[in-house]
Amino acid sequence: MGSFKPKNMIDVIIGALFFIVIYPFYLNIDKFVSGGMATVTSPVDFPKFIIGIVVFLSLLLIATGCLKKSVQLEEDLEKKMNNKAVILYLALLIFYLISLNYAGFLMATPIVMTLSYALFRGNRYITFVPFTIVFTFALNYIAFNFMNIMLPAGLFFE
């Protein structure tokens, strides 16, 4: 019998690092969250849910790293990686953070989602733009009505 060797070691290492960093937060979330608004659920439930998803995804990354074949990482990254697109995307995220303060969540989110879709060369604007609007309003509705979270309204709309 041979020893077990993961097929894609980078995915296994990254998944393990995520798991090692995030899982202690999951176990000790009660110490990090100290109160909140009066809601049906505990203030700990939502952060615990999100951290639980990250823990699950890190374990899934480890599992897929053990199963899938490794690719020629350096050659593929050089071909696929476009530094200009990464810098533009980071600038777009900074623009989003600034625009949330002025335009608010309902205006800034569909615009930034559409711009990021265009940045990554999306070509189905007829279906994507309405999706961004519906997604934004649905997220705002869920955040306000179910989690009692008021998303930024913006200085222009106060």
Alpha-carbon gap, residue 42 to 24, rounded angstroms: 20
* Residues of the domain holding 52: 9-72
Residues 63 and 96 in one domain: no
Q: What is the pTM of this model?
A: 0.53
What is the total count of domains within the chain?
2
Using 50, 70 and 90 to split pLDDT, how confident is the model at 40?
A: low
Quick one: CA dihedral 135, 33, 94, 23, positive or negative? Answer: negative
Average pLDDT value over all residues in the chain: 77
Residue 4: inside a domain: no
Assign residue 104 a region (left: φ > 0; alpha: ψ between -120 and 50; beta: otherwise).
Answer: left
pLDDT tens digits along 91-109? 888 898 888 888 888 899 9
**43 has pLDDT over 70:** no
pLDDT at 79: 55
Residues 66 and 102 in one domain: no
pLDDT tens digits along 62-100? 888 787 665 555 455 555 556 677 788 888 888 988 888
Domain boundary among 49, 72, 95: 72
pLDDT at 78: 52
Residues 20 and 65 in one domain: yes
pLDDT at 13: 82
Using 50, 70 and 90 to split pLDDT, how confident is the model at 5?
A: low
Residues 147 and 93 in one domain: yes
Alpha-carbon gap, residue 77 to 137, rounded angstroms: 36
Residue 149: inside a domain: yes
Which are the contacts of 129, defined by CB distance < 8 A and separation ≥ 6?
110, 114
Alpha-carbon gap, residue 64 to 8, rounded angstroms: 8
Written as one letter, the residue type at 7 is K
pLDDT at 148: 77
The conformation of residue 38, written as its DSSP 8-state character, comes to: -
Torsion of CA 88, 94, 98, 100, to 10 degrees: 90
